[in-house]
Amino acid sequence: MWDYLSFIINRFRERLWIKPLIVCVLSIGAVFLANLMDMTEFGRFLPEISKESTETLLKIMASSMLMMATFAVASMVAAYASASRSATPRSFPLIVGDDLSQNALSAFIGTFIYSVVALVALMNGLYGGRTSQFILFCLTIVVLAVVIITFIRWVDNIARLGRLGHTIDQVEAAAAEAIRKRQSAPRLGGVAAFSLPDGSHAVFGKGIGYVQRIDTAALQARAAASQLRIVVAALPGTFCTPNRPVAWVVREVSGGVSDEDAEAIAAAFKIGGSRVFDQDPRFGLVVLSEIASRALSPAVNDPGTAIGVTGTLVRLFALWNEGGKTGGGATVQFDRVAVPELSVADMFDDAFTGIARDGAGVVEVVVRLLKALESLAATGDAAMRDNAQHHARLALVRAETALNIPDDLATVRAVATFAL
């Protein structure tokens, strides 16, 4: 249940209107809540606040907050466009989900709504008692202080939002979180995949797109109710078409799979138009590789970024390797659902193929890539060692084709000796 809620919350975080709407509702509620304080006896203990002072303050806030909200939206849109141009459009959901920017926009819009509603209520005599006027004045001061603090923090953040280095850090953080989640449940809580017996039934997804999430709890419940064994055939990140099964069903008793069972199993696979980071560690590797490839394009010509991304990929693979050492005894929660583990070979392909291809003609990129692969080969994991050596040999072949200077080739070959 928490995994499903986390998925829904992450999708809402990618919508800019959610937080401003919540703050607006709270602002309106606070305005009318202050009027209820007149029913208490606190007024005789409070100092008297003139109506004019509160009215002036609210007018200043109302006139300035709309301009601030417009400025915030313009700055955020410029940052989003910059991130899409300099990094990759696949990083856009992470930039949109930036909490500080959303909080700033919410504070500006919420304060504007609060000021307008409070001003109208004040000028129409809603606050007739000393208590309500004092509460309204204090609430206005608090709101103003929150706006000032939010603006100061946001100005510091907006200077980095959309910058390439900041985007890479956000992608790394999202990929690392997905890796930790997957290492804590390598098979999404299920059992190891097994060979399909004769008579297994294919289940196809509801739509064309990428698998964003698999509800293994729902699969377990359906399997237990109908005496089934379910083998997941499409992990998160897989592109599904009408002729590609998302799962295979094995019945423990004779007979076919009912339409009701097939519908319930297909509904457990959330399919959308794009990949998301939540259950898909490979997506983070793909996005980082795209950033490096764009940096290596002739239009950008920024090998330093590709070198930096290579170091980021090494950290993520080291995190994967450490998680594999400590998470080998993951608890099986769903014994009727079999889920294949992620392939290390596929992860290496996602991460390093594009960099090796696009950076083959840049000697410093090739050398850094080979050194990175050498460090991964020395982690002690057999699968990681074999794939690191394989990609090092491919990088060497590409470099020998693209590099023309003998000294550059000699340097590359000397670094690649661990894979030969």
Give the C-alpha separation, 247 to 257, whole Å. 12
Query: CB–CB of 212/276 below 8 Å?
Result: yes
pLDDT in tens, 155-186: 877 777 768 888 899 899 999 999 998 988 88
Q: Which residue has the tokens 């090739």?
A: 366
Amino acid 296 reads L
Q: Inform me whether the pLDDT recorded for 407 exceeds 60.
A: yes
Q: Inform me whether the pLDDT recorded for 16 exceeds 70.
A: no
E runs forming strands in 94-227: 201-204, 209-214
Q: What is the pLDDT of residue 329?
A: 56
CB atoms inside a 10 Å sphere around CB 283: 24
Give the C-alpha separation, 126 to 143, whole Å. 20
Q: Of 329, 392, 322, which is closest to residue 356 (Cα–Cα)?
A: 392
Please list the alpha-helical segments (H only) found in 340-381. 344-358, 363-377
H or E element: which one contains 239? strand 239-240
* Phi and psi torsions of 247, nearest 5°: -160, 160
Q: Of 287, 355, 351, 357, which is closest to residue 319 (Cα–Cα)?
A: 351
With a pLDDT cut of 90, the percent of the chain lying above it is 44
Give the C-alpha separation, 319 to 173, whole Å. 12
Tokens of 23: 């703050």
| Number of Cα atoms under 13 Å in the Cβ half of residue 359 | 33
pLDDT in tens, 35-65: 666 555 555 556 667 778 888 888 888 888 8
Amino acid 128 reads G
Query: pTM of the prediction?
Result: 0.81
